[in-house]
Structure 1
Amino acid sequence: MKAKPKKATIDEMRPEYDFSNAVRGKYYKRVMKGSNVVILEPDVAAMFETSQAVNEALRNLVHIAQETERLTKRPGGRGKKHNTA
């Protein structure tokens, strides 16, 4: 019976990778300070060319939502009374 060839695991690195000049933790503080990664679905990602375009679209959406809320608010801050009985 022949031995099966060893499959490379995900953690194994190829010999051609050179980390001799790498600095451990070089970007750690930057990542911990403010990184917020959001994964877009492919159909949504196809609509935007850059992260700036995504941010601009989201800012516009937030602005529209805030304006709509302001325009539809009842005067005096009172809402419709609901019958709880």
Structure 2
Amino acid sequence: MEAEYDFSQGKRGAIDPTSLGKTHITIRLDNEILAWFREQVHNAGGGNYQTLINEALRQHIQQNRQSLEDTLRKVVREELERIER
């Protein structure tokens, strides 16, 4: 071990830069939730639990978006039928 180190060429910040389209955040999850996602990755033989969480959130958003679209279509149809009468 050296007595003194030279950090004059050092750079501050993350060692691994964040990928484009990704944002680094801190989030608090229940222990049980995190354990479940980690277990799913382990049972699958490997992978990244963060990617699995991201995909689950994406699916949830898509399902809610679809549900909203279906509801709006139903309301528009009902209103058009009411107007045509």
**Per-residue deviation, 1:46:** 1.5
CA RMSD of aligned residues (A): 2.9
**Per-residue deviation, 1:41:** 0.9
Aligned partner letter, 2:62: H
**Structure 2: gaps spanning 5 or more residues:** 39-48, 80-85
After superposition, give the CA deviation of every residue in 1:19-45 in whole Å (9 maximum; x if it has no partner). x476351428x57x9321212110111
* Overall identity of the aligned pairs, in %: 18
**Structure showing greater Rg:** 1
User: Residue 32 of structure 2: SS of its match in structure 1?
Assistant: helix
What is the match of residue 45 of structure 1? 34
For residues 21 and 36 of structure 1, do their structure 2 counterparts lie closer, same or farther at Cα, with a shift above 3 Å needed? Answer: farther
Report which structure shows greater RCO (CA 8 Å, sep ≥6). 2
User: Residue 64 of structure 1: SS of its match in structure 2?
Assistant: helix
Q: How many residues align?
A: 56
- The whole-number CA distance in structure 2 between the counterparts of 1:21 and 1:47 is 44
Q: Going by fraction, where is helix more abundant, 1 or 2?
A: 2
User: Residue 37 of structure 1: SS of its match in structure 2?
Assistant: coil
Runs of 4+ in 1 over 6 A off after TM superposition: none
Q: Does 1:56 align with 2:45?
A: no
